[in-house]
Amino acid sequence: MGEMAAAGARLEQLVPGARVLGIAGDGPVEIARARWAGGNAIRVTYRDDHGGTGERMLLRRDESRLRLVTDQGTHTFDGAPDAWLLAAEALRLRWAALFDSMLAVSMSEVEPLPHQLTAVYGELLPRTPLRFLLADDPGAGKTIMCGLYVKELILRGDLARCLIVAPGSLVEQWQDELYNKFGLRFDLLTTSLVDSAVDGNVFERYPLLIARMDHLARNPDLLGKLESSDWDLAVVDEAHRMSAR
């Protein structure tokens, strides 16, 4: 493999084993020893590629002509640690579902009850894709089940677009619950949101959306745009209020 020189080197990078241009002659030398003389000067002992050795005092003003030399294709471990951590965390989340079948539970601010876990992980997820009716009694936590289901599908990479249709009095509750308990940020379909998408389909622009049932039912234009849009999941709260058509 060939070698390449990185831009500029600081005195702190002149550690034993480093290969540096600009210390002696036209070629790189390898640092054998480095001793600080205060905070702005360092005395280095080096060897060149022909076996010769030497010693030199370097100052801060010499940094502009120093170049670290690395082998192309090798890992120098001098990248940004925050960027590496972000990439590692993204990869961990991408594959986490392979090792934790209930990942959404541990990543949400909820303590689901046994019947909720049974519904989501025992019935809904194994049957994906399907159409189903979740008809538990009032107060059984159907919103929690839905949030777990949506969050789990997102974590597994199976859901990018979700529409929730609910009665007008419940849309803000849905938005708050999904955000506060599951960290899912859904937009509310409002008149201003529709107006902001005059050059396109509002349903295509916003992938996570909550709509009022009456808002859709009374607006033929919105219904037409809805019909031409695609969703990975559509949830209808209080579906018994819908007409047969």
CB distance 68 to 9 below 8 Å: yes
Q: With CA atoms as reference, report the closest residue to 155 among 118, 112, 104.
A: 104
| pLDDT tens digits, 153-203 | 988 888 899 999 999 889 999 999 999 999 999 999 988 888 887 777 889
Q: Summarize pLDDT for 114-158 with one digit per residue, the tens.
A: 888 888 888 888 887 777 777 777 777 888 999 999 998 988 888
Q: 14, 58 in Cβ contact below 8 A?
A: yes
In 3D space, the residue among 131, 136, 130, 100 whose CA is nearest the CA of residue 118 turns out to be 136
Query: What is the pTM (predicted TM-score) of this model?
Result: 0.58
Query: How does pLDDT run across 7-64, given as a tens digit for each residue?
Result: 568 888 899 988 999 898 888 999 999 999 888 899 999 998 888 899 999 998 888 8
Task: Tell me the per-residue pLDDT of 193-228, one tens digit each, with 9 for 90 and over.
Answer: 888 877 778 898 899 999 999 888 888 888 888 888
CA distance 70 to 95: 33
Q: What is the pLDDT of residue 140?
A: 76
56 to 23, 67, 124, 171: CA distances (angstroms): 8, 16, 71, 72
